[in-house]
Structure 1
Amino acid sequence: MLRSLDIRDMLLIDRLELTFGPGLNVLTGETGAGKSILLDCLGFVLGWRGRADLVRAGAAQGEVTAVFDLPSDHPARAVLDEAGIEAGDELILRRINGGDGRKTGWVNDRRVSGEVLRQLSDLLVELHGQHDDRGLLNPRGHRALLDAFAGVDLAPTRRTWAARREARAAMAEAQAALEAAKKEEDFLRHAVKELGDLAPESGEEVALDVARRSMQAAERIRGDVARALQMIGPEGAEGAMLDANRWLEGASDRAEGRLDAPIEALGRALVELGEAASGVETALAALDFDPHALEQTEERLFALRALARKHDVLPDDLAGLADELRDRLGRIDAGEERIAALRRAVTDADAGYDAAAAALTATRSKAAGQLDKAVSAELAPLKMERAVFETLVSEAEPGPDGRDAVAFTVATNPGAPAGPLDKIASGGELSRFLLALKVCLARGNDALVLIFDEIDRGVGGATADAVGRRLAKLAHDTQVLVVTHSPQVAALGAHHFQVAKSVTKGMTTSRVAALDDEARINEIARMLAGDKVSDAAVEAARALLAG
């Protein structure tokens, strides 16, 4: 509920403090007295985009403060939480318009942007009038209004839409990955075969290099070792030493012992020479290799190194690369199966969404008929029993909230073509259509303050009385503010404010006063009779107030 509105130096208002009450609050006054100024000021503090020249002439700045009661379950608390603003039992909005046009806003003494004010505005106040493009006349909001009327639960459809979107995204991602993989399929198959044929092993390159170097070294020294063995063998040093030993032993009997020591030394040398020959023979045997083995070793070593260069990896990493490429090739081979499984998942998700959306369409279609009947029932007392209101539910692009477009249409006379509210109805008719709609749609919604700006324009007599009674009916569940020229509407208000204009020292100002019972009789009499209030008008005013 809007509890109070404090305005300073805005337009024609120098200082104004208003306290509103629950139920129906009516604002009356002569044309041009400044009733719309109050709405301009309220819209300003709520962050609405409106006229720029709001500061009163001669003032340095203008300021508006609005105080709202804030129940514990009010949806505006979510906006306050997100903005980091502490919320109590009341919500205080304050906004200043500087003389230079700059605007600054506060919520509960916390500075905020105009966007935060507008978010709160959507949850605090709803304005209706002949040029209302924020509410019922905006076709983009008709589906949400119908859903609210029907009490629709959108969660199942939104869940199936999310599942559908995820399934389609997964399939698209898998298809893209498969297409990318297929572009290198020929390379993968060739590389996997090449690596499979070679069958590289980790550590193999080092072992092959050591074996190759060993065989190459053996090839270089074997000739020298063989020649050395020949030189110390029977045909070389050993044979010569044996001959020398035989000659010395044959001469030792005649040498009187002088050859004994040399013969013994020569015997020891023959033993050492034999051991040397045996070692050289062993070494020569170890240096024996198959030249074909060296060729095979070199071929495999060079093949490993060439394949490593080709794939830009180390030779020891070829075995791991082979496993990786085989895995990638396996994914290609299994890709079609995965795509088929994902396609089935998409089909299932589509079916789930289609079922939820179809159920939602059925609910909306049924609710549309109920809303049409409810609005028609409200139109009859408003003297529009010949008008036809129809809620059209048509197919639209699928989305998280279903695949329905909803539009409110009217035909003001039987046989006349139906069309959008703001295109078909005249000013007075439009006001009554909006009121009938609001009466039907606002049931149980007491979070919003409803404001009607001259919604009774163009009607009078019994019709104006019916308008007033519908406004009063709305006010049973929520606070309603109405700017009116109709005495029938004004008489039904629970709280009555009069807007008047005065000129003091060449300065025009607007004043607003809360009316007591006597003043209210006089104001309604003025609305009935005009400038000259007669006794009959006063009696008529008393009769209206008496109901």
Structure 2
Amino acid sequence: MLRGLDIADMLIIDRLELAFQPGLNVLTGETGAGKSILLDSLGFVLGWRGRADLVRQGAEQGEVTAWFDLTPDHPARAVLRDAGLPEGDELILRRINSRDGRKTAWVNDRRCSGEVLRQLSETLVELHGQHDDRGLLNPRGHRVILDEFGGLEAQRAAVRAAWTTCGQAAKALKSAEAAMAVIREEEDYLRHAVAELDALAPEPGEEAGLDVQRRLMQGAEKIRNDVVRAHELLGAQGAEAAFGEAMRWLDGAATHAEGRLEAPMAALSRAMSELGEALDGIGDAVQDLSFDPNDLENTEERLFAIRALARKHDILADDLAAFGDTLREKLNALDAGDADLSKLRQALDKAEAAYNDTAARLSEARTSAALSLDKAVSAELAPLKMERAVFTTQITPEVPGPEGQDAVAFSVATNPGAPSGPLNRIASGGELSRFLLALKVCLTRGQTGLTMIFDEIDRGVGGATADAVGRRLSALAAEGQVLVVTHSPQVAALGTHHWRVEKRVSRGMTTSTVVPLPGDDRIDEIARMLSGDTITDEARAAARSLLAVQGCSG
């Protein structure tokens, strides 16, 4: 509930402090006195988009502060928590507009953005007027209004969740189909490449081993004859035979040499042992250097095949095996793809069926809520002197979406037999005001703690009709707080609190101010509204009579 408004240096307001109360708060004044400036200032501190030139001439900056009482379950508290702002039973909003156009805002003395202000304003204040397009006159908002009236928010959230599930299922299927299409486009290549890799079966490190083996084979033809010749010279027909013969001669002479040959014979024995090892190694080398010429051809053929396949796929030879595994995975995915796609299609079908069922139930609930809303509005129109008007909530099929598959629009016919049409096209100014008021009464029934602002919603009506409008505003205010800017004395007389907006000129400077109207001042203001600039005794008597009839005198 709005408790106060402090305005400094905004347009033609020098300094103004207002304390509002629960109930019906009435603001009156002559045309041009500055009533709209109050709404502009309140809209500014609430973050609404409006006129840019708000700073009073000669001032460096304009400032507006508004404070509200919050109930423990007020929705503004959730906005504060989400924004990381302090919360309490009182909410203070302050916003400054500098001469250069810069705007700075605070919530409970903490800096915040204009977007946070706008989010808070949606929970704090509702503004309505003849030309209001913030909801009631905007067909795009009629569906939300109907859902709120019928208490269908949970069902609408379920439809939105089902729509999200459908979207996710459709996206998964589309992604899988696209991936499958790519794989199918290269299926022939994949199967041919995998066949080549399977036939060759390359292994990591094989290319380097084949290269070494090939170079050994190529060099073996050149060195094998030399190695064989060396083996022969050192073997049984060469050095080995000579060593043996020498040992036999020395062995025969050793008995007569008095020990002189023991050391030479020991050295010769060791040399013969080393010679044996050398012969074994050379023999192994001869064996290794012995190969079938076909082996070289086969080695080269495989080596060249591995290198050619690596060049073909533009990868390293050692990566061919892993590359083959990757291609096989794609083929496996292709082979299993139809089954996977079938599962994804089934998931999408299931999600769509769930959405259709949830949306159908929401449509049924909306149809029922529409009948109730039409009946409730019709009941409210009678006291507003529009008992012959017809209000209809039209529900038509719409392309399915996150809010369901219904288009909702309010239509009216002001007289029996007259064609019905959109609310903002059929009704005249005065009729439109009463339709809006009837709707608002129905939509806020049972709600408490609301602050609603009506900007000249009674324009174009007078007499008994204006009195009916005032009584509906008073009924709204009984469960919350209503601020009404009015030119109707019948409405003004119903207010529980009355202020007059005045324009004053001092030292060549025009300013606007707001003054409370107790007792006789209120009588004079209502008399002015009845008679014009000249307030007569008859007008004062009529004002007293009107206040007495409304039960609001004094």
Shorter-chain TM-score category? 0.7 to 0.9
Change (3 A) 1:440 1:278: closer
- Residues 283 and 514 (structure 1), Cα distance of their counterparts in 2 relative to 1, 3 Å cut: closer
- Distance change in 2, residues 1:205/1:412 (3 Å): same
Q: Determine helix, strand or coil for the equivalent of 1:27.
A: strand
Name the CA distance, whole Å, in 1 between partners of 2:61 and 2:230: 117
The residue correspondences of 1:146-545 to structure 2 (distance < 5 A) are 146-152=146-152, 153=154, 154-226=156-228, 284=286, 287-530=289-532, 531-534=535-538, 536-545=541-550
CA deviation after TM superposition for structure 1 residue 237, in Å = 6.5
Q: Residues 494 and 547 of structure 2 are in contact (CA less than 8 Å); yes or no, is this contact kept in structure 1?
A: no
Equivalent pair of 2:28/2:487 in contact (CA under 8 Å) = yes
Shift in Å at residue 365 of structure 1?
1.5
Distance 1:467 1:284, change over 3 A: closer
In structure 2, the CA distance between the partners of 1:34 and 1:201, relative to structure 1 (3 Å rule), is: closer
Quickly say closer, same or farther: Cα 1:221–1:156, change in 2 above 3 A: same
Q: Deviations over 1:302-326 (max 9, x none)?
A: 2223223333333333222222211
Structure 2: segments with no counterpart, 5+ residues: 250-260
Distance 1:96 1:326, change over 3 A: closer
Letter in 1 for 2:469: V
Rounded Cα–Cα distance in structure 1 between residues aligned with 2:338 and 2:504: 84
Bigger mean CA offset, 400-409 vs 45-54: 45-54
In the superposition, the TM-score normalised over structure 1's length comes to: 0.86
Q: Which residue of 2 aligns with 1:76?
A: 76
Secondary structure of the 1:84 match is coil
Letter in 1 for 2:537: V
The answer to whether the 8 A contact 2:159-2:358 is kept is: yes
In 2, are the aligned partners of 1:382 and 1:432 still within 8 Å (CA)? yes
Q: Which residue of 1 aligns with 2:143?
A: 143
Greater C-alpha radius of gyration:
1
Deviation, 1:391, is 1.2
- In structure 1, the partner of 2:130 is 130
Deviating more after overlay: 134-143 vs 168-177: 134-143
Instruction: Name 1:2's counterpart in structure 2.
Output: 2
AA at the equivalent of 1:12: I
* C-alpha distance in structure 2 between counterparts of 1:278 and 1:422, whole Å: 115
How far apart, in 2, do the equivalents of 1:230 and 1:80 lie?
Answer: 102
Instruction: Please report how far the alpha carbon of residue 287 of structure 1 lies from its aligned counterpart in structure 2 after TM superposition.
Output: 4.1
| Aligned twin of 1:48 | 48
Corresponding residue for residue 88 of structure 1: 88
Does structure 2 retain, via aligned residues, the 8 Å contact 1:392–1:409?
A: yes
1:64 aligns to what SS in structure 2? strand
In structure 2, distance between residues paired with 1:228 and 1:297: 29
- Name the counterpart of 1:252: none
Kept in 1, the 8 Å contact 2:60–2:98? The answer is yes
**Offset at residue 201 of structure 1 (A):** 3.0
Question: Could you tell me which amino acid in structure 2 is paired with residue 312 of structure 1?
Answer: D
**1:6-21 correspondence to structure 2 within 5 Å:** 6-21=6-21
Aligned amino acid, residue 480 of structure 1: V
Deviation track 1:118-147 (CA, whole Å, cap 9, x = no partner) reads 232222111111111223112221111111
Cα offset, 1:57, TM superposition: 4.2
User: Equivalent pairs: percent with the same residue?
Assistant: 65
Shift of 1:232: 8.1
Which range moved further: 402-411 or 201-210?
201-210
- Assess if the C-alpha contact under 8 Å between 1:491 and 1:545 holds in 2: yes
Query: Greater shift after overlay, 290-299 or 340-349?
Result: 290-299
SS of 2:537 mapped into structure 1: coil
Deviations 1:503-532 (A, max 9, x none): 444444333222224433443344334421
**C-alpha distance in 2, partners of 1:392/1:74?**
32
TM-score under structure 2 length normalisation: 0.85
Instruction: Verify the 8 A CA contact 2:235 2:279 in the aligned structure 1.
Output: no
CA distance in structure 1 between the aligned counterparts of 2:409 and 2:235, rounded to whole angstroms: 118
Change (3 A) 1:366 1:224: same
Structure 2 counterpart SS, 1:14 = strand
Q: How far apart are the structure 1 equivalents of 2:450 and 2:57?
A: 33
Say whether the 8 Å CA contact 2:30–2:502 is kept in structure 1.
Answer: yes
Instruction: Report SS of the residue matched to 1:66.
Output: strand
Does the CA contact (< 8 Å) of 2:470 and 2:494 recur in 1? yes
Distance (whole Å) between structure 1 residues aligned to residue 39 and residue 286 of structure 2: 115
The 10-residue stretch of structure 1 (383-392 or 507-516) with the greater mean CA deviation from structure 2:
507-516
Measured after TM superposition, the shift of residue 231 of structure 1 is 7.1
SS at match of 1:509: strand
Q: Which has the higher mean CA deviation after the structures are superposed, 206-215 or 438-447?
A: 206-215
Question: Residues 222-252 of structure 1, C-alpha deviation per residue, up to 9 Å, x if partnerless?
Answer: 3345556777899x879x99xx99xx9xxxx
Greater Cα offset, 292-301 or 144-153 = 292-301
Is the 8 Å Cα contact of residues 123 and 447 (structure 1) preserved in structure 2? no
Aligned to 2:27, the other structure's residue is in SS state: strand
Aligned AA (1:67):
W
- The answer to whether the 8 A contact 1:488-1:544 is kept is no
SS in 2 for 1:408: strand
The alpha carbon displacement at 1:282 in A equals 7.0
Return closer, same or farther for 1:116/1:203 CA change in 2, 3 Å cut-off: closer
Report the AA paired with residue 203 of structure 2: E
- The residue number in structure 1 matching 2:105 is 105
- CA distance change for structure 1 residues 302 and 436 in 2, over 3 Å: closer, same or farther? same
Deviations 1:432-471 (A, max 9, x none): 0000000011123335410011111222222222211111
Residue in structure 2 matched with residue 255 of structure 1 by the alignment:
none
Q: Which amino acid aligns with 2:548?
A: A
Tell me what 1:64 maps to. Answer: 64
> Quick one: which amino acid aligns to residue 416 of structure 1?
A
Distance verdict in 2 for CA 1:494–1:315, change over 3 Å? same
CA contact (8 A) 1:126 1:135 kept: no
State the Cα deviation string for residues 316-355 of structure 1 (Å, max 9, x = none).
3322222221111111222222112211111111111111
- Whole-angstrom CA distance in 2 between matches of 1:55 and 1:288: 105
Offset at 1:93? 2.0
The one-letter code of the counterpart of 1:537 is: A
Mark the CA change 1:510 to 1:447 in structure 2 (over 3 Å): closer, same or farther. Answer: same
1:261-285 superposed Cα distances (whole Å, 9 cap, x missing partner): 9xxx9xx99x97x979986777655
Separation in structure 1 between the aligned mates of residue 285 and residue 469 of structure 2, nearest angstrom: 123
